[in-house]
């Protein structure tokens, strides 16, 4: 997580120590932002695949959500970097899917 994300997390989560947490960038479907718009947007069009999960399901599974950068971007706090947490992440996110808007980056 970048420093801005850590500061944002401290404001939202209070005194929780985040230096040892694992987080992943996420885009959330909100007003005006559907999956196609997100996948074809400047942050994800170069990604070959993606995983998707409902925010509510991630929260129930114990993952935190932090607004970082500009909407619709969030960081999903995934807990510690252990085998058990990795297995929980895999179950929560499911199979990866091909990005239908993928465009190979020009070199």
Per-residue pLDDT tens listing for the chain (107 residues):
444 444 445 545 555 545 556 788 888 888 888 999 999 988 888 999 999 988 888 888 888 888 888 888 888 887 777 888 888 888 888 889 999 999 987 76
Q: Where are the domains of the chain?
A: 3-94
Overall pTM surpassing 0.95 (yes/no): no
Rounded distance, CA 80 to CA 20, Å?
7
- Nearest-5° Cα angle at 95, 67 to 25: 20
């Amino acid at each position: 997580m970048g420093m801005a994300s850590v500061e944002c997390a401290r404001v939202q989560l209070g005194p929780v120590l985040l230096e040892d947490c694992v987080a992943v960038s996420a885009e959330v479907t909100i007003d005006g932002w559907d999956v196609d718009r997100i996948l074809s947007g400047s942050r994800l069009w170069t990604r070959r695949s993606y995983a998707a999960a409902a925010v509510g399901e991630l929260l129930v599974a114990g993952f935190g959500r932090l607004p970082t950068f500009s909407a619709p971007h969030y960081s999903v706090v995934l807990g510690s970097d252990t085998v058990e947490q990795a297995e929980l992440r895999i179950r929560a996110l499911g199979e990866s899917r091909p990005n239908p808007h993928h465009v190979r980056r020009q070199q």
